[in-house]
Structure 1
């Protein structure tokens, strides 16, 4: 919900494209910093307690954004909060989730499990996108300002954080149990994981030029699309992304994890180029929705691959090492994207995103096509 209205909220406050990009960057940097802290100290704290702490931070972030007005305050909140300006897999707690879920299933079930994990997230996110315009509809009926409607959305975000906190507080005893305190470290897999982290960082660097909030900013300015229409667009892409998670499992069983990542990712990048070059809003929206069926197919497969090519004892460390650089890499481009959109309505950020992702795909296929997970050997 928030990533749909965030550009409109910041525009209503009078921020420029560069400033909006800076707020997005600050939010992504905040996620990266928290990911680092979880990687360092997470082995000392029960997973359920960490997740509950994240929910409280989410609640505080919603309150702070709901009342903030100055650019500096928004930057500060972005860095220390949990606001996610994208609907993607940028989360400080992915390392804990990925390692824990991998340990709960066999090798043959791992990819399907991550597909269901992403399916649920995509469906809930798409419903949130569809509901994003509801507060604006309400304030228009009451003849109040759009800015007030945006602030109501952040209050809804706050209550969502409280609900999540209560859910985590009621998690099972095993999830509440304190870990052994032995920090997960990489052994023989170190070089392999570092190469994967470098490639994933290139992918995320490109993705940072077209995170949902930046895409929303571009389409707001280029085609003057309303929040309600954009919410429907993101809902449709979210549903297709959810469906694609299940399809990716079948494809991976036929052609392998690496080829599934590459052969679904490249067409998605080509469609993004088509979005950037579209002469009218309906063609741009249509291509963007179709892209939703392909763009996230690699996510459960990628996670499954990382967990498969390392030892079980190395999974938490591998997840942290591959996720932290990704978070940092995606945090840098939004400022540059905002600067570009301040100077031109042409979709340079989208073209840069697609180019980086295509380069990443070819490098991934070249370097890892012969390194197979246990279920493919």
Structure 2
């Protein structure tokens, strides 16, 4: 029954471990994005430090993804995914045991922490290429939608779990810092479970690949154009990643950790619902139109929320944004896989992800600096304006594709 729901008709069941692994990773990412700023503040760091560490995580992910795009075709995806899972295990255990800024910065750079609302890790291009191989046409868009839906749904549950440290403190009397460390150790444990899960993927000698992975060639031009546009979108998104949005809520409304976790849970739940609807919308109006015409209203809501003085109205606007802003995620993934040759899919996924990660890596530091200067509305407004500009350029360049 569960397998039937996870896999659309026409998709290969070999990708089931990837879907379950995505859910587990999203759960861990969901609470880490909310806890990271609170943990760093509890360690005595400032808002600029939060931005710097967030930048380091995204920058490290970008370089790792670039390596996968440049050299990943030389290795089977199973080996790379198993290595990434072990890196996740080490990241969680290191963050749970370290307290100094520079060691944490190093682990943030080489590790797998994700302070944003979307998946920007090295797992992404490897899983995307495998998902694309296992389905075709409408089934591919549907499969990517379910993959993204699982990510959004379990990230929402993870955000709700960000209140666990306060519950641990109240129930056991342990210090808040210790409770935070427990959650990061659990993040590492999730990485270990994902490693066990990915061991079930077909080994190279038992799998006949339909099209051997190759570096970019025939599809290079369109991939470069998409990568440049996606990088603008990601730079804008980096100004309002979940870690910074949590920090904004803490500073502007003095929100508690439990209340912030509840907000991100409901926002994530709305994002999950929207991604389930995305394939049906794309089927009616086209892939590119779905990306653009859902994104622009979401950006307008973010800009208005930056100035609203009442928490309830702010939440309402951010919930509308959550319902619309992530609808493009599965559609964008399916679009990239559709416009490149099968052999170039892994490289295309990497090279469209790398500029996005690099661009989004810069902006959290800028956002943290603006917060530190007292300009709380500036990062949200800049994010919304830049995203609208991206949407208009994407529609102009690709409105005749993916219909």
TM-score range, shorter-chain basis?
over 0.9
Q: Give the match for residue 25 of structure 1.
A: 55
Greater Cα offset, 274-283 or 220-229: 274-283
> What CA distance in whole angstroms lies between the structure 2 residues aligned with 1:243 and 1:75?
35
- In the alignment, does 2:50 pair up with 1:11? no
- In the alignment, does 2:90 pair up with 1:90? no
> What CA distance in whole angstroms lies between the structure 1 residues aligned with 2:149 and 2:211?
32
What is the TM-score of this pair, normalised by structure 1?
0.95
Structure 1 residue corresponding to 2:81, chosen from 51, 65, 76: 51
Spell out, residue by residue over 1:245-270, the C-alpha distance to the aligned partner (whole angstroms, 9 max, x if none).
Answer: 12111111111111110000001101
SS at match of 1:210: coil
Q: Give the match for residue 351 of structure 2.
A: 321
Cα distance, 1:68–1:180 mapped onto 2, change above 3 Å = farther
CA contact (8 A) 1:43 1:181 kept: no
- In the alignment, does 2:296 pair up with 1:296? no
Unaligned 5+ segments in structure 2 are 1-30
> What CA distance in whole angstroms lies between the structure 2 residues aligned with 1:20 and 1:134?
21
Q: Tell me how far 1:177 sits from its aligned partner.
A: 4.9
How many matched pairs? Answer: 373
Q: Tell me how far 1:302 sits from its aligned partner.
A: 0.7
Unaligned 5+ segments in structure 1 are none
- In the alignment, does 2:234 pair up with 1:188? no
In the TM superposition, what are the counterparts of 1:247-258 in structure 2 within 5 Å? 247-258=277-288
- In the alignment, does 2:111 pair up with 1:114? no
Q: Give the match for residue 151 of structure 1.
A: 181
> What CA distance in whole angstroms lies between the structure 1 residues aligned with 2:99 and 2:200?
35
- In the alignment, does 2:247 pair up with 1:217? yes
Greater Cα offset, 292-301 or 142-151: 142-151
Spell out, residue by residue over 1:299-358, the C-alpha distance to the aligned partner (whole angstroms, 9 max, x if none).
Answer: 111111111112212222211111111110000011111111011152211111111100
Structure 2 residue corresponding to 1:101, chosen from 127, 131, 148: 131
- In the alignment, does 2:234 pair up with 1:204? yes
Q: Give the match for residue 193 of structure 2.
A: 163
Q: Give the match for residue 384 of structure 2.
A: 354
Q: Tell me how far 1:39 sits from its aligned partner.
A: 1.7
What is the TM-score of this pair, normalised by structure 2?
0.89
SS at match of 1:184: coil
SS at match of 1:308: helix
Q: Give the match for residue 273 of structure 2.
A: 243
Q: Tell me how far 1:170 sits from its aligned partner.
A: 2.5
> What CA distance in whole angstroms lies between the structure 2 residues aligned with 1:171 and 1:99?
14
> What CA distance in whole angstroms lies between the structure 1 residues aligned with 2:263 and 2:64?
31
